[in-house]
């Protein structure tokens, strides 16, 4: 007998995912059915990345409707599996209270890597759109050498930019050198920022604040870290430096590809 999957929230990725799931499962969508009817005789719930943007309501994409997490969990009496992305500590705590199993898309290393690819491609697209110079021969600095930092640096190298990666770990510096980038420490920012054309941040902590004093007004900052990002945006604005917090790029630039990755995760959980 086919499993039944409830779909709620998310963005275009989830709409495409629903169509993929319909080929193998029974799929019910919130909006076509109310919460109680949606959850009735169902096996799991699938939502978006992130599951919530405010820790109070489900991320409903472009919809203006608000669905509170606690009310939804309270109705999940017979459906104990929820698959979504980026669960906060508060949501994890609520899930324990309501005896709900959480499965995070981003907990799978393969999914997280695949998700980093469209993030990096989206960042490059923003850089091309927002700057008046070619990426080729531009001085580009990438803060952090995790999954996204690796992908951004690799794409920049392919476009023949001058790539500097700022990191902390010795093993990261080894890979940075092996890949042909320039490796620098955070203590070197004062020296390298004056010549930086484009700065890509991937660190989910405030790393660029007074350092803005060393940047030119014609430079560009693209922050790829989760909200609130790693840049002092108010200070950047005051100094006339363009800084963009680029959230949700996978869903904007490659929803079909990401939906396919999500589909594989859902099949694993089911």
DSSP class per residue in 63-101: -----BHHHHHHH-SS--EEEES---HHHHHHHHHTT-E
Q: Say how far residue 107 (Cα) sits from the centre of its chain.
A: 13
- The parent domain of residue 211 ranges over 112-251
pLDDT in tens, the chain (270 residues): 589 999 999 999 999 999 999 999 999 999 888 898 899 999 999 999 999 999 999 999 888 889 999 999 999 988 999 999 999 999 999 999 999 999 999 998 999 999 999 999 999 999 999 999 999 999 999 999 999 999 999 999 999 999 999 999 999 999 999 999 999 999 999 999 999 999 999 999 999 999 999 999 999 999 999 878 899 999 999 999 999 999 889 989 999 999 999 999 999 998
Query: Which of 260, 218, 254 shows the shortest CA–CA distance to 239?
Result: 218
Both 162 and 182 in one domain: the answer is yes
| pTM of the model as a whole | 0.87
Both 142 and 229 in one domain: the answer is yes
Both 237 and 124 in one domain: the answer is yes
Both 154 and 24 in one domain: the answer is no
Both 146 and 167 in one domain: the answer is yes
Both 116 and 31 in one domain: the answer is no
The number of distinct structural domains making up the chain is 2
Both 150 and 231 in one domain: the answer is yes
Both 83 and 125 in one domain: the answer is no
Both 148 and 96 in one domain: the answer is no
Residue where a domain terminates, one of 107, 135, 157: 107
Both 103 and 116 in one domain: the answer is no
- Structure-token pair, residue 31: 């909006």
Domain of 18, CATH number, reads 3.40.50.720
Asked whether residue 218 is domain-assigned, the answer is yes
Asked whether residue 116 is domain-assigned, the answer is yes
Both 121 and 241 in one domain: the answer is yes
Residue 6, strand partner residues: 28, 45
Asked whether residue 260 is domain-assigned, the answer is no
Asked whether residue 257 is domain-assigned, the answer is no
């Amino acid at each position: 007998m086919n499993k039944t999957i409830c779909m709620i929230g998310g963005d275009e990725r989830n709409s495409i995912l629903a169509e993929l799931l319909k080929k193998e499962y029974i799929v019910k969508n919130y909006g076509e059915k109310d919460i109680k009817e949606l959850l009735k005789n169902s096996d799991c719930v699938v939502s978006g990345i992130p599951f919530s943007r405010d820790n109070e309501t489900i991320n409903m994409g472009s919809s203006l409707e608000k669905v509170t997490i606690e009310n939804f969990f309270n109705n999940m009496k017979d459906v104990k599996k929820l698959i979504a992305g980026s669960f906060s500590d508060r949501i994890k705590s609520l899930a324990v209270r309501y005896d709900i199993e959480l499965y995070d898309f981003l907990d799978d290393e393969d999914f997280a890597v695949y998700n980093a690819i469209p993030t990096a491609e989206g960042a490059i697209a923003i850089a091309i759109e927002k700057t008046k110079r070619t990426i080729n021969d531009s001085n580009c600095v990438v803060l952090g050498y995790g999954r996204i930092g690796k992908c951004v640096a690799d794409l920049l190298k392919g476009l023949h930019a001058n790539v500097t990666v700022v990191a902390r770990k010795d093993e990261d510096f080894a890979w940075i050198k092996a890949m042909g980038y320039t490796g620098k420490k955070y203590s070197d920012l004062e020296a390298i920022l004056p010549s930086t054309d484009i700065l890509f941040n991937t660190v989910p902590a405030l790393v660029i604040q007074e350092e803005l004093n060393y940047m030119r007004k014609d430079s560009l900052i693209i922050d790829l870290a989760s909200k609130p990002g790693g840049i002092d945006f108010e200070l950047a604005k005051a100094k006339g430096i363009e800084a963009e917090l680029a959230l949700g790029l996978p869903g904007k630039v490659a929803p079909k590809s990401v939906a396919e990755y999500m589909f594989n995760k859902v099949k694993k959980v089911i």
